[in-house]
Amino acid sequence: MLTAPGDFTHARHFAGARHALAQAQSLPPWTHTDPRFFAREMERIFRRHWLFAGDADRISKPGDWWSTALAGVPVLLARGRDGAVRAFANTCRHRGCRLVPPGEGNARAFKCGYHGWVYNLDGALAGAPQMEHSKDFDKSAYGLVAIRAALWGKFVFLCFDANAPPFEEAQGGFLRMFQGYEFDRLVTARRARIRVRCNWKIYAENLMESYHIPYVHAASIAGNDFDPGMEALAGKSGGLYGRTPGQPVWLDFGPNHGAIVSRHAGSNGLLPNERGFPAMPGLSGVAAEGSYFAYPFPCALIAGNIDCLWTVGINPLSAGETELTLAHHFHQATMARPDFAELSQAYYRRLDAATAEDVVITEEQQRGLDSPFARPGRLSHMEPVVHEFRRWIVDQVAD
C-alpha cells in the first residue's frame, strides 16, 4: 500500500493542486491509498460538512425508519407521528448497542435488544427497565443523540457537526439551481447499491468530467452527441466550458458545490436511440431546456434532466473501498403513465451501463495509484469541476 509521508498534512504536498487549472496537478497518489489520510478526510470533511444521505421516500409514513452507516457513522432516521424527519446516532444510551441493523422498517418505538431500553420516534427515552433503583437517574437526559438533518424536496442531508452553518446557508447556491423542478412531486422509482474497490474521491471525480466518455463509454453514452450541448457532455467538443449561463455548456460553482449545466435537445438520461418519456410537467428555466450535473461536495451527484432525475450517493468505507447508491426519481405524472414500467427500463439501462464501465476503470485507477512509481499528473481543460473539488478538499485537510 502506498503510504503518506510523516508530515502528510503539510500544505507543501498540495501546492500543485492549488494552481490554476491550466497549470494544476492532481493530488499526491497516497491521498487515495493511505489510511491516515482517509482518517483525516473523515475528521475534517465528513464529520464537519453536510452529507447527502439519500431520499426521504424510504421513510414516507409516520413510524418508518431507515438505518445506515454514513462515512462510518451508524445513523438512524425516522419519520415521527408529527411527520417530521429526524436523525439519531444508532447507539443505545445505556451501553452503546446498535438499536437496529442496517435496513428499513416501520415501528412505534425503538427497543434495544440488549437491556430493553425503549425510545420514542422523537428519540426520547420512554422506558429503562429497573433504572428506578439508580440514584438520580433522569430519563429526559438519556434520549438518543440527535444528528442534524435537512430535508430538501425528497432528499435528506445530514451533518455531524453541531457548529456547522445551517444547510440552506452552506448549500444555498446549489439549491437555487434546481428551482425549475417540482421536487415535491418527485417519487423514487428504483435504487441500487454497488461496492467499488476504489477511493471515494476517484469515483466522485469520475462523475465530474466528460473527458473520459469517448474512451470508457464508447459503447454506451458516447453516442449522445447530436447538438453542441450534448456533444460537449459526451466529451467530444474541442471548446472550453463557458462561465456564462446560456452557452451550450457552462459551469456553476459555490463554496460547497460545483456543477456542469447544459442546454441541449432531448434527454441525457437515455442511451442513444432509446425511447423515453416526455418532459416532466412544471419545468421552468434551464430545467426545461437541458440538464444539470451538480455535485454537492463532498459525496453526491444529482443529475437533473427534462424527464427524470437520478442521484449517486458516494459513501466512503475505507481508503480503497466505496459504496454507491444509485436512484432514479420521476415526476408523479410520469409514474402514472400506463407505459411507465416499460419505458423506465431504458433509463435504468443507461445508468447501469455507464456505471458498470465506470466501476471497471475506477478500480483500475486505484490499482495504478497504489504503485510506488505513481506521480501527480496534469489536468485538462475538461476537468474544471475536478479541479475545484480537489482545491476544496485541500482547503479542508491541509495545515
- Position 313 scores a pLDDT of 98
Alpha carbon distance, N-terminus to C-terminus of the chain? 24
- Position 361 scores a pLDDT of 98
Domains of the chain as residue ranges with CATH: 51-163 (2.102.10.10), 172-397 (3.90.380.10)
- Position 2 scores a pLDDT of 81
- Position 246 scores a pLDDT of 80
Bridge partners of residue 92, in order along the sequence: none
* Segment 11-56, tens digit of pLDDT: 999 999 999 999 999 999 999 999 999 999 999 999 999 999 999 9
Task: Quote the CA–CA distance of 298 and 275 in Å, as a whole number.
Answer: 33
* Segment 366-388, tens digit of pLDDT: 999 999 999 999 999 999 999 99
Q: Tens place of pLDDT for every residue, the chain, 399 residues?
A: 788 889 999 999 999 999 999 999 999 999 999 999 999 999 999 999 999 999 999 999 999 999 999 999 999 999 999 999 999 999 999 999 999 999 999 999 999 999 999 999 999 999 999 999 999 999 999 999 999 999 998 899 999 999 999 999 999 888 988 989 999 899 999 999 999 999 999 999 999 999 999 999 999 999 999 999 999 999 998 888 888 888 899 999 999 999 999 999 999 999 999 999 999 999 998 899 999 999 999 999 999 999 999 999 999 999 999 999 999 999 999 999 999 999 999 999 999 999 999 999 999 999 999 999 999 999 999 999 999 999 999 999 999
- Position 173 scores a pLDDT of 86
State what percent of residues in the chain have pLDDT above 90.
92
Task: Quote the CA–CA distance of 306 and 91 in Å, as a whole number.
Answer: 42
CB 366 within 8 A of CB 199: yes
- Nearest in space to 394 (alpha carbons), one of 86, 3, 7, 10: 10
- Position 238 scores a pLDDT of 81
- Position 242 scores a pLDDT of 82
Bridge partners of residue 294, in order along the sequence: 259, 302
- Position 125 scores a pLDDT of 98
- Position 247 scores a pLDDT of 86
